[in-house]
Amino acid sequence: MKLLPKLTPAEKKEIKKGVIEVYGKHMNRTALGVVDAVLQLFPSVTFEELKEILPDAINPAAPKNYKSLFKPYTDRHYGVIQSGVIRKECEDAGLDINASHFTEKGETFRTTDGIEVLVSKSWESKDTATNEHDLQNLIDHVAQYGIRVVSFEAKDEDFTKGGYFLKINNPTLFKKISSKQKSVSKIVWLLLSLGIAISVAAVLFFIFKK
Protein backbone atom coordinates (compact mmCIF):
# COMPACT_ATOMS: atom_id res chain seq x y z
CA MET A 1 0.00 0.00 0.00
CA LYS A 2 1.55 3.25 -1.15
CA LEU A 3 0.51 6.05 1.16
CA LEU A 4 2.94 8.84 0.41
CA PRO A 5 2.92 10.74 -2.89
CA LYS A 6 6.06 10.98 -4.99
CA LEU A 7 8.45 13.13 -2.99
CA THR A 8 11.53 15.10 -3.97
CA PRO A 9 14.82 14.37 -2.14
CA ALA A 10 14.31 17.60 -0.17
CA GLU A 11 10.77 16.55 0.84
CA LYS A 12 12.04 13.15 1.98
CA LYS A 13 14.40 14.95 4.35
CA GLU A 14 11.50 17.06 5.61
CA ILE A 15 9.49 13.89 6.32
CA LYS A 16 12.21 12.81 8.75
CA LYS A 17 11.91 16.12 10.59
CA GLY A 18 8.19 15.54 11.09
CA VAL A 19 5.16 16.77 9.15
CA ILE A 20 2.76 16.61 12.08
CA GLU A 21 3.81 16.62 15.74
CA VAL A 22 2.15 14.95 18.72
CA TYR A 23 2.47 16.40 22.21
CA GLY A 24 1.09 13.99 24.79
CA LYS A 25 0.44 13.85 28.50
CA HIS A 26 0.56 10.22 29.68
CA MET A 27 1.49 7.28 27.50
CA ASN A 28 -2.01 6.14 26.55
CA ARG A 29 -3.19 9.63 25.56
CA THR A 30 -0.06 10.02 23.45
CA ALA A 31 -0.99 6.82 21.59
CA LEU A 32 -4.48 8.24 21.07
CA GLY A 33 -2.88 11.37 19.60
CA VAL A 34 -0.71 9.31 17.26
CA VAL A 35 -3.78 7.55 15.80
CA ASP A 36 -5.48 10.94 15.40
CA ALA A 37 -2.39 12.23 13.57
CA VAL A 38 -2.35 9.21 11.24
CA LEU A 39 -5.99 9.78 10.31
CA GLN A 40 -5.44 13.50 9.75
CA LEU A 41 -2.48 12.81 7.50
CA PHE A 42 -4.22 9.96 5.67
CA PRO A 43 -7.93 10.90 5.84
CA SER A 44 -9.13 8.47 3.18
CA VAL A 45 -7.83 5.18 4.60
CA THR A 46 -10.11 2.20 5.17
CA PHE A 47 -9.96 0.24 8.42
CA GLU A 48 -7.96 -2.52 6.73
CA GLU A 49 -5.44 0.04 5.48
CA LEU A 50 -5.23 1.61 8.94
CA LYS A 51 -4.42 -1.82 10.35
CA GLU A 52 -1.59 -2.09 7.81
CA ILE A 53 -0.25 1.30 8.90
CA LEU A 54 -0.53 0.36 12.58
CA PRO A 55 0.09 -3.42 12.82
CA ASP A 56 -0.82 -5.32 15.98
CA ALA A 57 2.81 -6.33 16.54
CA ILE A 58 3.55 -2.81 17.81
CA ASN A 59 1.64 -3.55 21.02
CA PRO A 60 1.33 -7.35 21.26
CA ALA A 61 -0.05 -7.88 24.76
CA ALA A 62 -2.43 -6.21 27.20
CA PRO A 63 -1.35 -5.87 30.86
CA LYS A 64 -1.87 -8.72 33.31
CA ASN A 65 -3.67 -6.52 35.82
CA TYR A 66 -7.10 -6.95 34.19
CA LYS A 67 -8.60 -9.83 32.25
CA SER A 68 -9.00 -9.18 28.53
CA LEU A 69 -9.61 -10.79 25.16
CA PHE A 70 -5.90 -10.50 24.39
CA LYS A 71 -2.52 -11.84 25.36
CA PRO A 72 -1.56 -13.00 27.96
CA TYR A 73 -5.10 -14.39 28.46
CA THR A 74 -5.54 -15.57 24.85
CA ASP A 75 -3.35 -15.87 21.75
CA ARG A 76 -4.87 -12.72 20.26
CA HIS A 77 -2.67 -9.64 19.82
CA TYR A 78 -3.77 -6.51 21.68
CA GLY A 79 -2.61 -4.15 18.95
CA VAL A 80 -2.87 -0.40 18.50
CA ILE A 81 -6.47 -0.30 17.29
CA GLN A 82 -9.52 -2.55 17.08
CA SER A 83 -12.83 -2.10 15.28
CA GLY A 84 -15.99 -1.20 17.17
CA VAL A 85 -17.01 -4.87 17.01
CA ILE A 86 -14.80 -5.33 20.07
CA ARG A 87 -17.52 -3.68 22.15
CA LYS A 88 -19.91 -6.62 21.62
CA GLU A 89 -17.12 -9.16 22.08
CA CYS A 90 -16.25 -7.71 25.48
CA GLU A 91 -19.91 -7.56 26.49
CA ASP A 92 -20.44 -11.22 25.54
CA ALA A 93 -17.34 -12.20 27.52
CA GLY A 94 -18.41 -10.18 30.56
CA LEU A 95 -15.43 -7.85 30.24
CA ASP A 96 -15.23 -4.07 30.60
CA ILE A 97 -14.33 -2.50 27.24
CA ASN A 98 -13.44 0.72 29.04
CA ALA A 99 -10.56 -1.04 30.78
CA SER A 100 -8.87 -1.94 27.50
CA HIS A 101 -9.88 0.75 25.00
CA PHE A 102 -10.81 4.41 24.71
CA THR A 103 -14.57 4.61 24.17
CA GLU A 104 -15.72 8.07 25.30
CA LYS A 105 -16.99 10.81 23.01
CA GLY A 106 -14.06 12.44 21.23
CA GLU A 107 -11.83 9.40 21.86
CA THR A 108 -12.99 7.19 18.98
CA PHE A 109 -12.53 7.59 15.23
CA ARG A 110 -14.12 6.33 12.02
CA THR A 111 -12.46 5.29 8.76
CA THR A 112 -13.85 6.11 5.32
CA ASP A 113 -15.50 2.69 5.05
CA GLY A 114 -17.62 3.56 8.09
CA ILE A 115 -15.86 1.37 10.66
CA GLU A 116 -15.49 2.69 14.21
CA VAL A 117 -11.90 2.73 15.48
CA LEU A 118 -11.09 2.10 19.14
CA VAL A 119 -7.56 2.81 20.36
CA SER A 120 -5.85 0.55 22.90
CA LYS A 121 -5.74 2.15 26.31
CA SER A 122 -2.78 0.39 27.95
CA TRP A 123 0.80 1.01 26.90
CA GLU A 124 3.57 -0.63 28.92
CA SER A 125 7.18 0.43 29.25
CA LYS A 126 7.91 -3.30 29.55
CA ASP A 127 5.38 -5.30 27.52
CA THR A 128 3.86 -8.38 29.14
CA ALA A 129 4.88 -10.62 26.23
CA THR A 130 8.04 -9.03 24.79
CA ASN A 131 9.48 -6.79 27.54
CA GLU A 132 9.66 -4.03 24.91
CA HIS A 133 8.52 -0.43 25.34
CA ASP A 134 5.20 -0.45 23.46
CA LEU A 135 4.81 3.29 23.05
CA GLN A 136 8.39 3.68 21.86
CA ASN A 137 7.66 0.98 19.25
CA LEU A 138 4.72 3.08 18.06
CA ILE A 139 6.74 6.31 18.04
CA ASP A 140 9.56 4.72 16.02
CA HIS A 141 7.12 3.12 13.59
CA VAL A 142 5.07 6.22 12.66
CA ALA A 143 8.18 8.36 12.11
CA GLN A 144 8.40 6.93 8.58
CA TYR A 145 5.11 8.67 7.74
CA GLY A 146 6.20 12.07 9.02
CA ILE A 147 4.52 11.77 12.43
CA ARG A 148 6.80 12.89 15.24
CA VAL A 149 6.05 12.50 18.93
CA VAL A 150 7.70 15.47 20.59
CA SER A 151 6.95 14.71 24.23
CA PHE A 152 5.08 12.35 26.52
CA GLU A 153 5.11 11.38 30.17
CA ALA A 154 6.19 7.82 30.90
CA LYS A 155 4.00 7.37 33.97
CA ASP A 156 0.36 6.69 33.24
CA GLU A 157 -1.40 6.01 36.52
CA ASP A 158 -4.59 7.93 35.83
CA PHE A 159 -6.38 7.19 32.55
CA THR A 160 -8.94 9.94 33.11
CA LYS A 161 -6.43 12.78 33.17
CA GLY A 162 -4.01 14.08 30.61
CA GLY A 163 -4.48 14.66 26.93
CA TYR A 164 -2.66 15.50 23.73
CA PHE A 165 -2.52 18.11 21.04
CA LEU A 166 -1.30 18.05 17.45
CA LYS A 167 0.77 20.62 15.61
CA ILE A 168 1.28 20.69 11.85
CA ASN A 169 4.99 21.28 11.51
CA ASN A 170 5.12 21.44 7.72
CA PRO A 171 1.81 22.76 6.28
CA THR A 172 2.95 22.46 2.65
CA LEU A 173 3.93 18.82 2.93
CA PHE A 174 0.91 18.04 5.10
CA LYS A 175 -1.37 19.41 2.39
CA LYS A 176 0.43 17.46 -0.32
CA ILE A 177 0.15 14.15 1.55
CA SER A 178 -3.42 14.53 2.84
CA SER A 179 -4.68 15.91 -0.49
CA LYS A 180 -3.19 12.94 -2.30
CA GLN A 181 -5.26 10.68 -0.08
CA LYS A 182 -8.43 12.63 -0.79
CA SER A 183 -7.75 12.52 -4.55
CA VAL A 184 -7.33 8.74 -4.48
CA SER A 185 -10.59 8.41 -2.57
CA LYS A 186 -12.44 10.54 -5.14
CA ILE A 187 -11.07 8.42 -8.00
CA VAL A 188 -12.16 5.20 -6.28
CA TRP A 189 -15.67 6.53 -5.68
CA LEU A 190 -15.85 7.80 -9.25
CA LEU A 191 -14.91 4.37 -10.61
CA LEU A 192 -17.42 2.67 -8.32
CA SER A 193 -20.15 5.08 -9.38
CA LEU A 194 -19.27 4.54 -13.04
CA GLY A 195 -19.40 0.78 -12.56
CA ILE A 196 -22.81 1.00 -10.92
CA ALA A 197 -24.11 3.28 -13.67
CA ILE A 198 -22.93 0.87 -16.38
CA SER A 199 -24.54 -2.08 -14.58
CA VAL A 200 -27.86 -0.25 -14.24
CA ALA A 201 -27.74 0.79 -17.91
CA ALA A 202 -27.09 -2.80 -18.96
CA VAL A 203 -30.03 -4.09 -16.91
CA LEU A 204 -32.35 -1.44 -18.32
CA PHE A 205 -31.16 -2.23 -21.85
CA PHE A 206 -32.09 -5.89 -21.53
CA ILE A 207 -35.43 -5.07 -19.87
CA PHE A 208 -36.54 -2.70 -22.62
CA LYS A 209 -35.08 -4.93 -25.33
CA LYS A 210 -37.58 -7.58 -24.36
Query: What is the Cα–Cα distance from 157 to 100, expressed in whole angstroms?
Result: 14
**pLDDT higher than threshold 50 for residue 189:** no
What is the distance, to the nearest Å, from the Cα of residue 86 to the centroid of all Cα atoms in its chain?
15
The confidence band for 25, taking pLDDT boundaries of 50, 70 and 90, is confident
**pLDDT higher than threshold 50 for residue 185:** no
**pLDDT number for residue 184:** 45
* Cα dist from 178 to 38, 92, 93, 190, 206, whole Å: 10, 38, 39, 19, 43
Provide CB contacts within 8 A for 147, sequence distance 6+: 18, 19, 20, 21, 22, 34, 37, 38, 41
Residues in the chain: 210
**pLDDT higher than threshold 70 for residue 208:** no
Query: What is the Cα–Cα distance from 73 to 206, expressed in whole angstroms?
Result: 57
Q: Are 156 and 26 in contact (CB under 8 A)?
A: yes
The confidence band for 159, taking pLDDT boundaries of 50, 70 and 90, is very low
Structure-model confidence comparison of residues 197 and 122, the more confident one: 122
- Give 39-91 pLDDT, tens digit per residue: 999 999 999 999 999 999 999 999 998 999 999 999 999 999 999 999 999 99
**pLDDT number for residue 91:** 97
**pLDDT number for residue 202:** 62
> What crossing angle do the helices spanning 171-209 and 27-41 adopt, rounded to 10°?
60
Determine whether 130 is exposed, middle or buried from the number of CB atoms within 10 Å of its CB (0-12, 13-18, 19+): middle
31 torsion bin: left (phi>0), alpha (psi -120 to 50), beta (else): alpha
What's the chain's average pLDDT?
A: 87
**pLDDT number for residue 138:** 97
**pLDDT number for residue 179:** 87
SS3 label, residue 118: strand
Query: In this prediction, what percent of the chain has a pLDDT beyond 70?
Result: 80
- Give 97-143 pLDDT, tens digit per residue: 999 999 999 999 999 999 999 999 999 999 988 899 999 999 999 99
120 DSSP 8-state letter: B
Query: What is the Cα–Cα distance from 60 to 115, expressed in whole angstroms?
Result: 22
- What is the pTM assigned to this prediction? 0.82
Query: What is the Cα–Cα distance from 36 to 11, expressed in whole angstroms?
Result: 23
Mean pLDDT over residues 171-197, rounded? 65
SS3 label, residue 66: coil
